[in-house]
Chain A
Amino acid sequence: MKSKKWNLVLALLLIASFTVQAQITDKPNFGKIAIVDATIHTVTDGTIKNGVIMLDGEKIGYVGTDRLKVSDEYHIIQASGKHVYPGFMDSGTSLGLVEINAVAVTVDNREVGNMNPNMFAFTAFNPHSVSIPVTRVSGVTHVITAPQGGLVSGQAALMDLWGYSPDSMAIDITAGIVLNWPSIRSRGRGPRNLEQAEKRYKEAIRNLNKLLDNARFYEQMMSEYEADAFEKIKPEKNQQLQTMRALVKGETPLIIAVSSEKDILNAIEWALHEDNIPLNIIFAGVEEGWRVAEQIAKAEIPCLVSTLYTPVRSYDHIHRPYENPSALLKAGVKVAIMTGEVENVRNLPFNAGYAAAYGMGTEEAIKAVTINPAEIFGVSSLLGSLEEGKQANLFISSGDPFEPLSQIEQVFIKGYQIPMDSRHTQLFEEFLDRDATQE
């Protein structure tokens, strides 16, 4: 009876995809779903051939080989020859914050001001951005979406990519505060000479330290007041410092965007200063990480890196960008792969694929887009692998998901079987055979 109902739903979905759609995206399936006979890449517990994975609502109910566990009430997805992976997570994007980068009024990731810890990406995240369906059908189910600009850009959010409100899509609205490390020199329009550059650098660090000192003081003052308000005057609220309380306690990470060798070393030195030891620091970008991988490893700072950029220095080896993640990994750094993209976050698997091909290996590169970012952002009990009890974020692929020749066939986000369409597929269906008429 149940399976008949499902067949009807599927048939309707099929019809809907070939006719003019009243709504842009079809309804997802949700409930009890079992994917059977697949190769299941759990990430944390090996690969299971002819495996079964059962989705109970939002959670993964079972991962293993026991078909008998699949009762009649489950909708069965036959996936022999297919592969199941945990949904990929991109730990560096501005997805949902920027619709069209060249149209300024659609760009919501860059607030005016130099110190903006109280700007929340979550607030500006547009759950209806056209780029979101384009991204999720590629198997990328979660993103860190981050503000940009200034010295302290604001609070990045960890979002999943299925839902109709930022609230229903947010995993963590304070996933990290973004700090653009004050570079000794910025490309293009920088200071004229090294002396001036160092002067500016020191000034920026002074301002940063002052902000953090204020935040620490504010946190202490507030927590003392909150612990015992008796006969105390309520301190005035400062929204900027209020939003840094979790940061100075090491609860919210500090995501430091830093790339060149010299800047990375400066940032490490700063991170190891006794005042900053309580901070939970993550490096992002880190294009020259391979030059100082040992030092980064020693400081135990995880890194968010991409691969698809041109070699930084004109005399760098051609493969440096591709090899950077593996160099960091080999030194003992925890690495997550990101794109740094907005509309093309769907290229995350390809960024990871280049890392895989150039020293990292497929298995580690898969980790770098699943369990590693989940651990770095403190959500590994929920995301990042196929384990019982975790959220059902996964996708079915025809083969190695890093290969452009593979197809991502079905994506699930928190148990929802996502309609596999986007503006790109809709335009494809409409225009492939444009002038055809109905029979």
Chain B
Amino acid sequence: MKNIVNMLLFLVVFSVGSLAQEKGSVLIQNATLMTITDGIIENGDVLIVDGVITGIGTDLSAPIGVEVVNGTGKYVMPGIIDAHSHLNTVSTNEARNPVTAEVTMEESINPNSVSIYRAVAGGVTSIHLMHGSANVIGGQGETLKLRYGVSQDEMRFADAKRTIKFALGENPTRVHGQGNGIQPRTRMGVEQIIRSHFDEALDYRVRREAYLVAKEAYEGDRRGRRVPPVPVAKNLRYDVLNDIIDGEILVHCHSYRADEILMLMRVFNEYGIKNYTFQHANEAFKVAPEIAKNSAYTSVFADWWAYKFEVYYSTAYNATILNKNGVTNSINSDSNELIRHLNHEAAKTVRYGETSEADALKMITINPAIQLGIDKMVGSLEVGKHGDIAIWSGHPLSIYSKVQQTYIDGKKYFDMLTDPADMRIDVDSDDSYREAGFNTFIQGREEDACMSDVFQFIKQ
């Protein structure tokens, strides 16, 4: 009965929000503005009109009908962007082939997961929903805005760049080599899988284009005296690989060891692939100068290490070393727990190596935006950018600070003052079972979340 009441409540709450990507307007006055790209503005105002930031400064006035929020003593920063998440996937891994470029997270978004709300309550406004790391070339990702309570389509970040997941090292070699007895079993195999598939894709493109030309010529030949060309079937997998080579898809490569990071940069240089991001990249600090030279990006954990062998020789100072070497780095969560306090994860870069507070904040805002190709739209407080912001009770890098409100496109999706406990949209019938029992005392970590849905395939 209570569940029914809650569901009705939700229908009321979200019936307004369920219109396509509703935009809002709000004026926040007299707050400390962490602009990210233009320093800190004390006693500043931010005006968002119809989902877009139209004013940043002091003594701004609200147009008629626009809500005014008193930000005295509060901090305003752009919404946090998580460049590595599996927050609300339906499935994460298509783990039956080392290359599954044709697969996409496009239809694997669960818009009703309560974890979305929990992330918004941590000041997160956008995530990069990724395929897992079972395959060398995994599936395409989907950049989302965390509009909780809308449909799958309405969660998509319009005009975000296309992305794809690659994965090196232990995960693909465990799943395919160790698990299924096929290549790759080693890091040697991983490289050849990438090269051979790019080569096949390039050859396919030549053959396919030649075929299409010949087909057109044949169909245009009215006398019909010539032999029809042998068809070269459309291949979605190769099409996607060619889009990568053409720079239309940004590669986000799950990687840990320094040598495999170097390997991928060598390969990508040969195929002319640019603007890619190494995900996790626990050993990126060892090759920071090379990464900087290739203008590659990194997106790392603040402090995860030692849970598996390829992260044993790593350091929580990774982000600081990368940053000091000029690498555009972001701090990601890859976890439905860490995403609740990414501000705190970013703050750890100050503790570990004394990254400046300004750079620490960039690592959860503008830097991930750059890596996802959405930095012209979000990632900083700038006029013309989307009204994706969070209001904090204190400095966002302090452990005592709490998110007060989160806005996406100027529309409020979280308000601490009116925050009810039960925020489910989908009432999970299995809850009564799950709540009945579990014990957690010591929780060892074996794996990053990139290996969801995979273990059933590993024989070991």
A interface residues, Cβ below 8 angstroms from B:
92-94, 98-103, 107, 109, 130-131, 146, 148, 178, 180-181, 183-187, 190, 194, 197, 255, 257-263, 284-285, 287, 304, 308-318, 340-344, 346-347, 350, 353-354, 356-357, 402-407, 423-425, 427-428, 431-435
What per-residue 1/0 map shows which CB atoms of B27-70 lie under 8 Å from chain A? 00000000000000000000000000000000000000000000
Let me know if B203 is at the binding interface, CB within 8 A.
no
Sorting the interface of chain B by its residue count into under 10, 10 to 19, 20 to 34 or 35 or more gives 35 or more
- Complex: how many Å from CA A425 to CA B350? 14
Whether A403 contacts B398 by the Cβ 8 Å rule is: yes
Whether B285 contacts A431 by the Cβ 8 Å rule is: yes
A178-B441 contact in complex given A260-B435, A310-B337, A314-B424, C-beta closer than 8 Å: yes
Let me know if B459 is at the binding interface, CB within 8 A.
no
Q: Within B249-296, which residues are at the interface with A (CB < 8 Å)? A: 285-286, 288-289
A257-B441 contact in complex given A404-B351, A428-B317, A431-B321, C-beta closer than 8 Å: yes
- Complex: how many Å from CA A349 to CA B357? 20
- Complex: how many Å from CA A435 to CA B321? 13
Nearest opposing residue in chain A for B353, CB measure: A428
Nearest opposing residue in chain B for A258, CB measure: B439
- Complex: how many Å from CA A317 to CA B321? 38
- Contact segment of B141-149, B211-219, B227-235, B301-309: B301-309
Q: Give the residues in chain B near A183, CB-CB below 8 Å.
A: 436-439
Let me know if B118 is at the binding interface, CB within 8 A.
yes
Whether A92 contacts B317 by the Cβ 8 Å rule is: no
A101-B445 contact in complex given A311-B118, A424-B315, A431-B288, C-beta closer than 8 Å: yes
Whether A102 contacts B351 by the Cβ 8 Å rule is: no
- Complex: how many Å from CA A85 to CA B97? 54
Whether A146 contacts B441 by the Cβ 8 Å rule is: yes
CB contact between A100 and one of B312, B321, B401, B439 (< 8 Å): that residue: B312
- Complex: how many Å from CA A130 to CA B313? 10
Most A CB atoms within 10 A — which of B306, B337, B435?
B306
Whether B437 contacts A340 by the Cβ 8 Å rule is: no
CB contact between A350 and one of B321, B344, B436 (< 8 Å): that residue: B344
B interface residues, Cβ below 8 angstroms from A:
6, 114-115, 117-118, 121, 285-286, 288-289, 303-309, 312-317, 320-321, 324, 336-337, 340-341, 344, 347-348, 350-354, 357, 397-402, 419-424, 428, 431, 433-447
Q: Give the residues in chain A near B352, CB-CB below 8 Å.
A: 424, 428
Whether A434 contacts B289 by the Cβ 8 Å rule is: yes
Nearest opposing residue in chain B for A432, CB measure: B321
Q: Give the residues in chain A near B304, CB-CB below 8 Å.
A: 344
- Complex: how many Å from CA A328 to CA B354? 36
CB contact between A406 and one of B337, B351, B442 (< 8 Å): that residue: B351
Closest 8 CB pairs of A and B: A183-B437, A257-B441, A102-B308, A428-B317, A404-B347, A343-B306, A317-B421, A353-B399
Whether A404 contacts B441 by the Cβ 8 Å rule is: no
Most B CB atoms within 10 A — which of A259, A314, A354, A425?
A314
CB contact between A262 and one of B6, B397, B437 (< 8 Å): that residue: B437
Whether A405 contacts B397 by the Cβ 8 Å rule is: yes
A350–chain B nearest beta-carbon distance, Å = 6
Nearest opposing residue in chain A for B420, CB measure: A317
Q: Give the residues in chain A near B353, CB-CB below 8 Å.
A: 428, 432
Whether B439 contacts A316 by the Cβ 8 Å rule is: no
CB contact between B285 and one of A102, A258, A317, A427 (< 8 Å): that residue: A427
Whether B306 contacts A357 by the Cβ 8 Å rule is: no
Whether A357 contacts B402 by the Cβ 8 Å rule is: yes
B319–chain A nearest beta-carbon distance, Å = 11
A357-B399 contact in complex given A310-B340, A423-B315, C-beta closer than 8 Å: yes
Whether A187 contacts B308 by the Cβ 8 Å rule is: no
CB contact between A315 and one of B316, B341, B350, B431 (< 8 Å): that residue: B431
A343–chain B nearest beta-carbon distance, Å = 4
B266–chain A nearest beta-carbon distance, Å = 19
A100-B309 contact in complex given A318-B419, A431-B285, C-beta closer than 8 Å: yes
- Complex: how many Å from CA A421 to CA B434? 43
Q: Give the residues in chain B near A304, CB-CB below 8 Å.
A: 441
- Complex: how many Å from CA A425 to CA B314? 10
Q: Give the residues in chain B near A340, CB-CB below 8 Å.
A: 440-443
Q: Give the residues in chain B near A260, CB-CB below 8 Å.
A: 435-439
Most A CB atoms within 10 A — which of B304, B348, B438, B442?
B442
Whether A314 contacts B114 by the Cβ 8 Å rule is: yes
Whether B439 contacts A259 by the Cβ 8 Å rule is: yes
A318-B118 contact in complex given A101-B445, A146-B442, C-beta closer than 8 Å: yes
Q: Give the residues in chain A near B313, CB-CB below 8 Å.
A: 423, 427
Whether A427 contacts B439 by the Cβ 8 Å rule is: no
CB contact between B399 and one of A93, A402, A427 (< 8 Å): that residue: A402
Q: Give the residues in chain A near B428, CB-CB below 8 Å.
A: 314
Nearest opposing residue in chain B for A291, CB measure: B435
Q: Give the residues in chain A near B401, CB-CB below 8 Å.
A: 357
- Complex: how many Å from CA A285 to CA B304? 21
Most B CB atoms within 10 A — which of A309, A354, A405?
A405
A271–chain B nearest beta-carbon distance, Å = 16
Whether B347 contacts A184 by the Cβ 8 Å rule is: no
Whether B442 contacts A425 by the Cβ 8 Å rule is: no
- Complex: how many Å from CA A316 to CA B340? 14
- Complex: how many Å from CA A107 to CA B306? 12
CB contact between A343 and one of B114, B286, B307, B321 (< 8 Å): that residue: B307
- Complex: how many Å from CA A181 to CA B436? 13
